[in-house]
Amino acid sequence: MSQKIDLDITSVIYRPVLIRAGVAALFGIATFLFQEPSDAVVNYGSAIFFLFSGSAMWEYLRRDPVPEGMRSPLSLIAAIWMLTALTLVGLQLGDVSATVTWITIAAGLGVGGIAEVWAWTWRKSFAPARDHLIAGIVGIITAGLLAAMQDLDYHRIFGIAGTYALVVAVLFAITGIGYWLDTRKAVKEDGYQPPAP
């Protein structure tokens, strides 16, 4: 998958890609472990997911190989996710209903998904951008599911958000591991010296 991508890109990008995959995997697993989550588990758990996902996106976008223009949609994603995290904490502290929780999560995933599709438009000049299409579409579909379902309780909200997280985890784990293996092989076999992140 990553053989055609310049090593100077893969060697710098694989870490933030794997961090995003790891954050998504942990959240996705947590949503299946908590079968009857309380409002606090859903709001705080989702807030932590959005917070660390936004941080991972920030780490990704500030790397030198990322094209300057592509940083706009990536910055928007990071900002939306951070704002979503803060909103979810506020919802829990304000003891607001599950309806507002799913609207907040749907907005974060939906707007973030649209921005990821926008980031995908840089795929010709920056090959790793191609992964943002699938992640963006999954975010938009997840937001649509949350909006379309009736009588969403915290269990369903957590489950739907967790499914999104697991899809993203698998997508970016495959990509990140591929980049890491390409870099490792070049370092061991060809004496490649990766640039500083």
- What does the pLDDT look like over 136-151, one tens digit per residue? 999 999 999 999 987 8
Q: What average pLDDT does the structure give for the chain?
A: 93
151: left (phi over 0), alpha (psi -120 to 50) or beta: left
Task: Return the ∠ at Cα 30 (arms to 28 and 36), rounded to 5°.
Answer: 115
Mean pLDDT of the 166-170 span? 98
Determine the Cα–Cα distance for residues 110 and 142; give it in Å rounded to an integer: 7
On whether the CB atoms of residues 42 and 101 are closer than 8 A, the answer is yes
99-157 pLDDT, tens digit each: 999 999 999 999 999 999 999 999 999 999 999 999 999 999 999 999 998 789 999 99
For residue 3, pLDDT over 60 is answered with: no
pLDDT at 192 over 70: yes
